[in-house]
């Protein structure tokens, strides 16, 4: 099996998983709120996990709030800010190509009566700072723009946007799930950022929200006061400790990796497929870790199934909403022609990807896409 869906999820790190299981005598399966010896051990592991993450991101432990993943972190950030105000007092700015965790949260806030202002990208998927400026008014309380798009891999200038927000007294949040390790994240100017565990080899259902201590949030989950009163419920010691270890390993893998080699693999995919298909293919993006392509008048779900049968695992869209049969809203927003919308594939690689795996994928895409083109002409 050759894996090309790292933007969806990173394979669980079995070595670190086993390492965590061996911590069973160190309180990893206990309740950190308990005051007996085993509870104290659990609280110590949770503290170590938080400290390790804070060290990697060069921030304070008080700024790390453990959650169940990127989606909960996004919800906590957006609703946490907006629900502090009456609907007529607060507005939020975001883009039309955000992750569903942002867009669906915004739809819910709209149902609550809040005004959401949406900024469109250009045809490369970039959000222009001038377009954001046009949407700002005296009611704007929060701007949320993702760091790296999960379908295209395009990177936004989150620091410029954060600077703009702060000059207007507005908070800035970014969904940084796809960014960790791939870019040099400087959180000094970021008010809130969302992260997911399973994107770095940790367990599903883990993640955290980075939030400056001066940011006041309305909690989504009320109860025992865990996570600085922002996320009630008994903490997931095992999952959070594994997250910290995986984050450290993942971060080192990316930062110590020869990015030139990785870019060469992506360029090879683009060049070989453009040569093979000419006007029957368009390249929607070729960014860090992600190549998004689209075939003319081909059903990509059929192509994906054929590739899967040969052991090549690619995605037809963001796996967070790939159960829907409609074409990608992200590709629609960047103006991909209708005849290509149903033929998109997202190929996402990592430092673990080998060149022979890429060669095999290219060979199979050419074989099966040509077969589907031939059938379409008959």
Which positions are annotated as active-site residues?
Answer: 320
Tell me the torsion sign for CA atoms 63, 64, 65, 67.
positive
Residues 6+ apart with CB under 8 A from 372: 295, 298, 299, 302, 303
Residue 231 CA to residue 207 CA, distance in Å, equals 12
Three-point CA angle 317, 321, 323, nearest 5°: 90
Q: How far apart, in Å, are the Cα atoms of 152 and each of 98, 284, 332?
A: 11, 7, 12
Residues 6+ apart with CB under 8 A from 8: 315, 318, 319, 320, 348
Residue 193 three-state SS: strand
Length reported for the chain: 378
| 99: Cα separation from own chain's centroid | 8
Parallel, antiparallel or unpaired: strands 91-95 and 312-313: unpaired
Residue 123 three-state SS: coil
Q: Which residue has the tokens 């954001």?
A: 132
């Amino acid at each position: 099996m050759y894996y090309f869906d790292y933007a969806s999820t990173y394979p669980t790190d079995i070595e670190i998983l086993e390492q965590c299981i061996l911590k069973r005598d160190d309180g990893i399966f206990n309740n950190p709120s308990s005051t007996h010896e085993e509870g104290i051990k659990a609280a110590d592991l949770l503290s170590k996990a938080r400290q390790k993450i804070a060290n990697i991101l060069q921030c304070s432990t008080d700024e790390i709030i453990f959650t169940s993943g990127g989606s909960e972190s996004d919800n906590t950030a957006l609703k946490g800010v907006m629900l502090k105000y009456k609907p007529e007092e607060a507005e939020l700015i975001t883009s039309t190509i955000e992750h569903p965790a942002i867009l669906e949260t915004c739809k819910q806030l709209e149902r609550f009566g809040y005004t959401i202002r949406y900024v469109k990208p250009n045809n490369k998927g970039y959000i222009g700072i001038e377009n954001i400026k046009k949407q700002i008014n005296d009611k704007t309380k929060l701007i949320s723009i993702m760091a790296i798009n999960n379908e295209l891999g395009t990177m936004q200038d989150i620091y410029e946007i954060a600077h703009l927000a702060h000059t207007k007294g507005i908070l800035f949040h970014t969904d940084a799930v796809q960014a960790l390790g791939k870019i040099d994240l400087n959180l000094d100017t970021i008010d809130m950022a969302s992260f997911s565990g399973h994107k770095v080899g940790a367990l599903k259902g883990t993640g955290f929200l980075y939030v400056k201590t001066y940011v006041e949030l309305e909690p989504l989950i009320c109860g025992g006061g865990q996570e600085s009163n922002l996320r009630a419920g008994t903490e997931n010691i095992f999952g959070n400790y594994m997250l910290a270890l995986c984050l450290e390993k993942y971060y080192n893998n990316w930062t110590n990796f020869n990015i030139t080699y990785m870019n060469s693999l992506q360029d090879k995919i683009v060049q070989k497929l453009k040569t093979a298909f000419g006007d029957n293919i368009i390249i929607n993006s070729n960014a860090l870790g992600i190549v998004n392509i689209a075939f003319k008048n081909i059903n990509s779900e059929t192509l994906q199934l054929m590739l899967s049968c040969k052991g090549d695992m690619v995605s037809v869209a963001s796996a967070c909403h790939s159960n829907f049969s409609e074409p990608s809203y992200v590709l629609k927003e960047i103006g991909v022609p209708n005849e290509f919308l149903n033929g998109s594939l997202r190929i996402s690689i990592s430092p673990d990807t080998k060149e022979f795996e890429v060669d095999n994928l290219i060979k199979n895409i050419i074989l099966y896409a040509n077969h589907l083109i031939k059938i379409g002409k008959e």
